[in-house]
């Protein structure tokens, strides 16, 4: 009888430890992404005008499966800098083939200067299926 009581007590202690570990109040990392303003086939919002003080440089941040901003409007001669601030590798490929980056490790950048007006849609090959797409409208 004592033996089965000890086993029952041991099971109860282990169960209590498991429950308390699972009920930890540690913060959970968010997996939310910024809202995408570019659809796979059309723009759903007005492109953001986000240029530097010299009006010739724009920075687009890359994160876990998104570009921020995903849609920008610039003038001819503007250089766009894509900076990988995420924890995964990403790349940038124009649908029309006008620019292609190598895989960018966290912290790396890719730059491209737009010399002709037009709409340049781009995507990240590893994460396109997750909605990692963007566009640059050049005027």
Q: Which of 56-65's residues contact partners 24+ apart within 8 Å by CB, and which partners?
A: 57/81, 59/83, 60/134, 61/85, 62/86, 62/90, 62/92, 62/104, 62/124, 63/33, 63/34, 64/31, 64/33, 64/88, 65/33, 65/124, 65/127, 65/130, 65/131, 65/132
Q: Does domain 57-138 have CATH number 2.60.40.420?
A: yes
Rounded Cα distance, 59 and 35, in Å: 18
Closest by CA to 83, choosing from 62, 103, 68, is 62
Averaged pLDDT for residues 84-91: 96
What pLDDT does residue 55 have?
75
- Supply the mean pLDDT for the chain: 75
What pLDDT does residue 42 have?
32
Residue ranges of domains in the chain: 57-138
Total-model pTM: 0.63
Residue 118, preceding bond cis, omega within 30 degrees?
no
Averaged pLDDT for residues 10-38: 38
End-to-end CA distance of the chain: 86
Residues 6+ apart with CB under 8 A from 103: 89, 90, 91, 126
Averaged pLDDT for residues 59-76: 96
pLDDT bin (cut points 50, 70, 90) of residue 54 is low
Averaged pLDDT for residues 41-64: 64
What pLDDT does residue 24 have?
37
pLDDT tens digits, one per residue of 112-128: 999 999 999 999 999 99
Distances (CA, A) of 52 to 12, 39, 79, 111: 62, 26, 10, 15
pLDDT bin (cut points 50, 70, 90) of residue 138 is very high
pLDDT tens digits, one per residue of 97-112: 999 999 999 999 999 9
């Amino acid at each position: 009888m004592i033996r089965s009581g000890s086993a029952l007590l041991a099971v109860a202690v282990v169960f209590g430890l498991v429950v308390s570990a699972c009920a930890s109040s540690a913060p959970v990392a968010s997996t939310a992404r910024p809202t995408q303003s570019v659809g796979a086939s059309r723009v759903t919002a007005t492109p953001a005008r986000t240029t530097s003080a010299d009006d010739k440089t724009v920075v687009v941040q890359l994160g876990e499966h998104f570009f921020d901003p995903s849609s920008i409007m610039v003038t001819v001669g503007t250089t766009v800098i894509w900076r990988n601030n995420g924890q995964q590798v990403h790349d940038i490929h124009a649908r029309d083939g006008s620019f292609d980056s190598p895989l960018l490790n966290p912290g790396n950048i890719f730059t491209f200067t737009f010399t002709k007006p037009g709409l340049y849609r781009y995507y990240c090959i590893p994460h396109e299926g997750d909605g990692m797409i963007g566009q640059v409208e050049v005027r």
